[in-house]
Structure 1
Amino acid sequence: MKITFLGTGAAWGNPELGCNCDACSYARTHGGKDRRRRTALFVETSSEKLLVDCGPDIREQLMGQRASPGLEYDPIEEFDALLITHSHTDHINGLDELSALRRSEWVDSIPAYATESAWGEIMKRFGYLVGNEGEGRLFIRRLAFPGVQLVGLQTNVTPFKVEHGPTAPGAVGYIFQDGDKKVVYTGDFYDVPIRDERLKEPDLLIMECNWYNEPRTQPKTSWHMSFQRALSFIQSWSPKRVVLVHISHEDFTRTPLNTPIGTRPKNHAEWQLSVNRKRNQVGLGGLPIEVSYDGMVVTI
């Protein structure tokens, strides 16, 4: 499998509009791996090409454009299906952008998968794009049931339930299995309510990591994952490799729920150094845990 990280940032990207914090100021000045668009993935298996989430940056993401020279990737000209993790705007507000694909030769209707609860929210905003098989709409509405392999794909893809708060009903992550390789993508989450053995020992774990330190306000205001809490999931699931996504400019060293594990990283290099240091301290020194960046490509 080949995974292209189309975007690796949080809900408003990085640098965030109007923010002059250290992280945003650094990204604005230096660009490179610190300019992050909204998180989305492109997964290429032996039989299919799958787009995971479709946020407001999707046009530039599919065109292979990157704000910083040297981090471009090949344009994505076709894919076989769209997988949606949840209905927050940073994951679905680019759906109408895909209407332009109607003018190309390869697209008729795109199978799109989401849970029933997520579809309820999606239909309120983008119902004009969605229909059933044969109705001629841009997206063919297909249901994702947690714990059940998606129907209609050649690749074995199974959604699993995650907790991401009351504003993201039906949020899921996805397990991709292609031959003897397994990739787990958590999507945005605070917890996984059902302990699924299928999450264990993936070749690659793609994991949300909104902050480095855990904020005291969890979970009432955000329902996201910090690196401080992510370590327990990593230890439980025993992946062979980890890539962290959904990196935010925020952090909470002043009011952490637990003793801070370090000062706030303000750029990609500091993030990676901080992650490496803490990984070694907790006995995971042999495990690759990588901080992602837009345009990153991983092949397993």
Structure 2
Amino acid sequence: MTTRRVVTLTEFGSPEVLKLGTDELAPPMTGEVQIRQTAIGFNFIDIYQRKGVYPLPLPTGLGFEAAGVVEALGPDVADIRIGDRVAYMNAGVGAYADRRNVPADRLVTLPETVSDEAAAALLFKGMTAQYLLRKTHAVKAGELLLVHSAAGGVGQILTRWATALGATVIGTTGSPQKREAALTAGCVEVVDTNDPSWPEQFLTASGGRKARVVYDAIGKDTLLRSLDCAEPFGLVVSYGASSGKAPAIDPELLNKKGCLFLTRPSVFPHNAEAATFRANAADLFEAIARGYVKADIGQTFPLEDIVEAHVAAEERRYSGALLVIP
């Protein structure tokens, strides 16, 4: 048994419900490996689960992704070795810890070109961008995209990668202070969604051209107006809900808005099989090696400051990715 530090959630609520304590971690079971975690990724789904918007059985851990070093192997693990640098983003909740047992088939070995910090900052968000750009819609050169929350962790990766593929990206942010980060990521123009006229501002910025794809991670506050920004037969992708659950939409409205397509995908089904996950990760790592995707770490917090990390995320004090360091 190994003593570890781990964050536990026993009730839903404000960041203060997160409690850091210790427990005894058993040796890895068949098909598992034990990881000493060096960097833990933070995602908005962590907030939704902490609040109970996406309720989990209690008590529970939180966090979906981390990187670290393999310290022990369970029986029947053939493709991972002690000392390997690895990362994961689909091993279930519980990443908020300094050590963890993880099924080996949920791990990807990190190449030398990707640091632990970059992996923790990029894997969940980068794999989200990967399926959005490759599977939900195969982005092509010359297409116009509208990317909401373009200064956020996924938004910056999505914008950089889409731009490298030859697409033109107009972004939105929730504050003027984040405009520069979105422009640096590759947006040709940025509009502020706090302004009620943001759809009209988008059309002005695009010269009246509507988007082939609208990527909407905001949900409640933007989805209905996002439909006004998609070209006829265009695609609106609702893949997040940072402002709250997206409203129900009458299919007839999609017809009236231009025979639009609407989808609500997520990253986990796109990476449910080990071989698929590793192939998608290889695509992401290649994009990193080519410079299409970069680790933009906005802020880091030690594990003991996990409450402050959640506060900072909810108050949107940073742009880019947030990391928790055990």
Q: Same fold (TM over 0.5)?
A: no
* TM-score of the pair, normalised by structure 2: 0.32
Q: Based on CA coordinates, which of the two structures has the bigger radius of gyration? A: 2
Which of the pair has the greater relative contact order for Cα pairs under 8 Å at 6+ separation?
1
Which structure carries more helix by proportion?
2
Please identify which structure carries the higher strand content: 2
Q: TM-score, normalised by structure 1?
A: 0.34
